[in-house]
Amino acid sequence: SAPQSFADTEKFGSGHLSLRRSSEFTPDEPSPFLQELVHKFSLLNAVALATLRNDVDGAPSPLTGFNPGSPWPAVDPVKIPNAEKEYSNGACSEFFLYILGIDRTTLARTQYNASRPLGVYGGVSDAEIKQLQAARGPWAKVNLCSMWLNEFVVREHLAGSLGKVGPPIISRLFQFLSDGMSGYNQARKI
């Protein structure tokens, strides 16, 4: 049967869980609960940023797995391959195009964004990708990730994985999540 909480489970990058005793964890290894919580937060963050970047519909997903300790992708435009810099028209003309709001075509912006993938701690499982692809529109994708995070916290709180955390602390967590979603919705209006 499925475990009641993350206290005795191990999360793998593919989204599968396996039973494991709490005593088998080393002090340097974060608990599976914390790993899953960080995964859900990083997934929500990556999906929100991806929807704010306005990639072309049907473009490859900018979500990738992030392995702690690995180097971040290059952000210096000089280090980006030439194929991804095709939008560049020179410094002066680029400035005027930017002022007029026509600095990049939709395709050029998507290529530029593709060179900057958004890392998700623990990777993105096939089930998560399938459900995100089925969601209609950017708001639905972000709200789906937010719902996963809220549901995870509620389930783990009820199972006792959070320890003796009082209801006011849990309600404050939901308030911060709500404030973040409100900020995202304000950013979508721009």
State how beta strands 118-121 and 63-66 pair: parallel
Q: What is the pLDDT of residues 130-178, one digit of tens each?
A: 898 888 888 899 999 999 999 999 998 888 888 888 889 989 999 999 9
Higher pLDDT, 179 or 107: 179
How far is residue 22 from each of residues 2, 13, 30, 39, 133, measured CA to CA in Å?
A: 16, 19, 11, 20, 35
Task: Specify the residue for token string 């290059």.
Answer: 74
Q: What pLDDT, on a 0 to 100 scale, did the predictor assign at position 61?
A: 75
- The pair of structure tokens assigned to 153 is 């916290």
The total of other beta-carbon atoms located within 10 Å of residue 181's CB is 17
- Indicate if the pLDDT at residue 185 is higher than 60: yes
Cα(48)–Cα(185) distance, integer angstroms: 10
Q: What pLDDT, on a 0 to 100 scale, did the predictor assign at position 190?
A: 80
Cα(19)–Cα(6) distance, integer angstroms: 9
Backbone angles phi, psi at 152, to 5 degrees: -65, -45
